[in-house]
Amino acid sequence: MEQTLAKGKQIQDDYAAVVKKLRAMLHFTEVQLRAHKNQTLFLMHIAAKTLPKGLHCLPLCLSTEFFMSNSSERHFPNEEKLVDSKLYHYALFSDNILAAAVVVNSTITHAKDPANHVFHIVTDTLNYAAMKKWFLANPPGKATIQVQNVEEFTWLNLSYSPVLKQLGSSSMIDYYFKSRRVESDSNLKFRNPKYVSIMDHLRFYVPEIFPKLDKVLFLDDDVVIQKDLTALWSLDLKGKVSTCRESFHSFDGYLNFSNPLISENFDPRACGWAFGMNIFNLKKWRKQNITDVYHRWQNLNHDRLLWKFGTLPPGLITFWNRTFTLDICGLEHMLEAIYVLSMFISLD
């Protein structure tokens, strides 16, 4: 019996040593995983910003050709369609010429009647001439194209848009252009320079950009359309401003619920959605002053304590209880139309 008990105690001690060793291995693995995730994010940012030399030259070549052309050759046809609310209007805000071309061409390729589709592209000053020259030289069939320069929106100024003040603040600039060490920042994904560009926030000013339109389909420049999308304009939004599809992540993944302003107004388990593709009811938007709601929350987040950066967190807040959930089973034929290069696409 003594020998049996001694052997059992030895086995128990061995198990304790194994458990301790496994815990140490698990901790070490977790540390390595976090380090690799940070390194992955860092390398992804480098890859996204490193373009072949030929693509760097493309905007320069297109801009040169644009300014060398006659003034009569710098205008798109069918400008009267730009304010025709009976047509299908798309909004695309991008400084990436090739990405914008992919979105427009893939949509038109699968449209049953391309002549009824109107694309409104907004870009920055640096890429305006190049973007315009690309679509003048490569028109998408019978569809109508408009290219606008964000700098020409005189109403989008510091007195109107609080986000412009924040984007130009010294604290924001210091965060993005100083202390760039990957090891010191666990939120590297938020340190993408796109977050300090007004181009990323234009989606909250759609009614102001298109004052004569009633409904607009917003598209990000990382989507490729595979079938006709005209059925989206016949959706009944049930009085809502926009629509959403399926759950993406819960609100607590984007908002700081330790702050009472967030915890007292929103549900941490509420389903989030993404901005990949969104139908906006601009009549309801204007009636409910949605842009003012966005401005109010941006002012409250001046110290970035409610959320970090990006447009999805303020989008979830701004359109809280204003989205219409789509019936997935009834819309399978439409959902097959979309191939997404990002993680999720939302039909609001």
Total Cβ atoms within 10 A of residue 101: 18
Rounded Cα gap, residues 226 and 139, in angstroms: 19
Given phi > 0 = left and psi -120 to 50 = alpha, else beta, which region is 321? left
Within this chain, do residues 7 and 117 fall inside the same structural domain, yes or no?
A: no
Residue 348 lies in a domain: no
Within this chain, do residues 241 and 314 fall inside the same structural domain, yes or no?
A: yes
Within this chain, do residues 293 and 227 fall inside the same structural domain, yes or no?
A: yes
The H or E element that residue 119 is part of is strand 117-123
Rounded Cα gap, residues 151 and 281, in angstroms: 25
Within this chain, do residues 253 and 115 fall inside the same structural domain, yes or no?
A: yes
Q: Which two tokens stand for residue 238?
A: 């049930």
Within this chain, do residues 40 and 78 fall inside the same structural domain, yes or no?
A: no
Which residue, of 28, 50, 72, is where some domain finishes?
A: 50
* Domain around 145: 60-340
Residue 217's DSSP bridge partners are: 90, 279
Rounded Cα gap, residues 237 and 233, in angstroms: 10
Within this chain, do residues 73 and 180 fall inside the same structural domain, yes or no?
A: yes
Q: Which two tokens stand for residue 211?
A: 């004052």
How far does Cα 268 stand from its chain's mean position?
A: 21
Q: Which two tokens stand for residue 291?
A: 């842009």
Question: What does pTM read for this prediction?
Answer: 0.75
| Residue found under tokens 């710098």 | 74
From the number of C-beta atoms within 10 Å of its C-beta (0-12, 13-18, 19+), residue 86 rates as exposed
> pLDDT in tens for each of the 348 residues of the chain?
888 877 777 666 677 777 888 888 998 999 888 888 888 877 776 666 665 655 568 888 899 999 999 988 899 999 999 999 999 999 999 999 999 999 999 999 999 999 999 999 999 999 999 999 999 999 999 999 999 999 999 999 988 998 888 877 777 767 666 655 444 555 555 566 666 778 889 999 999 999 999 999 999 988 888 888 888 888 776 666 554 555 557 888 889 999 999 999 999 988 787 788 888 999 999 999 999 999 999 999 888 889 877 888 999 999 988 877 665 444 444 434 433 333 223 333
Within this chain, do residues 85 and 106 fall inside the same structural domain, yes or no?
A: yes
User: What number of helices (H) and strands (E) belong to the chain?
Assistant: 12, 9
Within this chain, do residues 29 and 159 fall inside the same structural domain, yes or no?
A: no
Between CA 75 and CA 41, with CA 202 as vertex, the angle to 5 degrees is: 115
CA dihedral for 139, 49, 52, 40, sign (positive or negative): negative
Residue 345 lies in a domain: no
Residue 68 lies in a domain: yes
Residue 104 lies in a domain: yes
SS3 339: strand
Rounded Cα gap, residues 98 and 334, in angstroms: 25
Residue 280 lies in a domain: yes
CA dihedral for 158, 291, 101, 140, sign (positive or negative): negative
The domain tally of the chain equals 2
* Contact yes or no for 92/219 (Cβ under 8 A): yes
How far does Cα 137 stand from its chain's mean position?
A: 28
- Rounded (10°) CA dihedral 91, 300, 273, 292: -40
Within this chain, do residues 177 and 42 fall inside the same structural domain, yes or no?
A: no
Residue 324 lies in a domain: yes
Within this chain, do residues 30 and 134 fall inside the same structural domain, yes or no?
A: no
Rounded CA Rg of the chain: 25
Within this chain, do residues 201 and 305 fall inside the same structural domain, yes or no?
A: yes
Rounded Cα gap, residues 206 and 92, in angstroms: 10
Domain at 336, CATH number? 3.90.550
Residue 346 lies in a domain: no
Q: Which residues contact 214 (CB under 8 A, 6 or more apart)?
A: 85, 281, 282, 283
Within this chain, do residues 137 and 35 fall inside the same structural domain, yes or no?
A: no
CA neighbor of 237 nearest in space, from 296, 287, 297: 287
